[in-house]
Chains A and B, each alone.
Chain A
Amino acid sequence: DAGVTQSPTHLIKTRGQQVTLRCSPKSGHDTVSWYQQALGQGPQFIFQYYEEEERQRGNFPDRFSGHQFPNYSSELNVNALLLGDSALYLCASSQDRGPFNYGYTFGSGTRLTVV
């Protein structure tokens, strides 16, 4: 049973460019959450998608946007990249159970470097 798959694994972009990261959730999971993990920090919540809609959003600017497809896979888009966007971007999938989280399954992440 495949877990969470993220692509690409590594990416180098120039300031001002745009980037798209992709995530396929674990089989049976319908909710996808995206996290940013800067070096030496814990994961910071970006947003969560369920039924192709953004359901919750963390404290990130509008340059960060996303999408969820009918097959539950998801994309994270970042426009006008800044040096500070360099981080590990983690996709986490779960099965929706309303207001309770019973644990995430994480992908291995995409390491984004902005130069």
Chain B
Amino acid sequence: AQSVTQLGSHVSVSEGALVLLRCNYSSSVPPYLFWYVQYPNQGLQLLLKYTSAATLVKGINGFEAEFKKSETSFHLTKPSAHMSDAAEYFCAVSSPSGGYQKVTFGIGTKLQVIP
């Protein structure tokens, strides 16, 4: 079984401040991990992914995430928030299940950026 826990359904930061969105996962096998972003009335867009290579992963729009096996975490960070970063962010875990890929999403964290 696999699961994803996103701590904090809403996060508010000031423009220019550090963004930190938390994600912890549970998986019985080494997982692949993802962060997606969803803007209002749109689908999800892949921000970045960890696929068992480098543990520090860089994505689009200046975001990065670090895979920490000992903490079962994959937190998303960005040094300086922009107004355009306001959106909902989803962490997802993927691992083999019955020979096929199984992808599970967290409930999402809504990021508010305050001017």
Contact = CB atoms under 8 A, between A and B. Distances in A.
B99 interface: yes
Contacts of B51: 100, 102
Interface stretch (A42-50, A60-68, A73-81): A42-50
Interface in A57-115: 90, 92, 94, 97-109, 111
B100 A33 contact: no
Contacts of B107: 40-42
Contact of A100 (B36, B41, B90, B94): B94
Interface in B20-45: 32, 34, 36, 41-45
B100 A99 contact: yes
Contact of B101 (A40, A42, A100): A100
A96 to B, nearest CB: 8
A4 interface: yes
Contacts of A33: 103
B102 interface: yes
A90 B97 contact: no
Nearest to B105: A42
Interface of B: 32, 34, 36, 41-46, 49, 51, 90, 94-108
Query: Which 10 A-B pairs have CB atoms at the shortest separation, nearest pair first?
Result: A99-B96, A106-B43, A101-B101, A42-B105, A101-B94, A42-B107, A106-B44, A103-B46, A108-B43, A43-B105
Given A42-B108, A45-B104, 10 more contacts: A40-B107, A41-B108, A42-B106, A43-B44, A56-B102, A98-B100, A99-B100, A103-B34, A104-B36, A108-B41
20 contacts: A33-B103, A40-B107, A42-B90, A42-B108, A43-B44, A55-B100, A56-B100, A90-B43, A94-B101, A98-B96, A98-B101, A99-B97, A99-B99, A100-B32, A100-B51, A100-B101, A101-B32, A102-B32, A106-B36, A107-B43
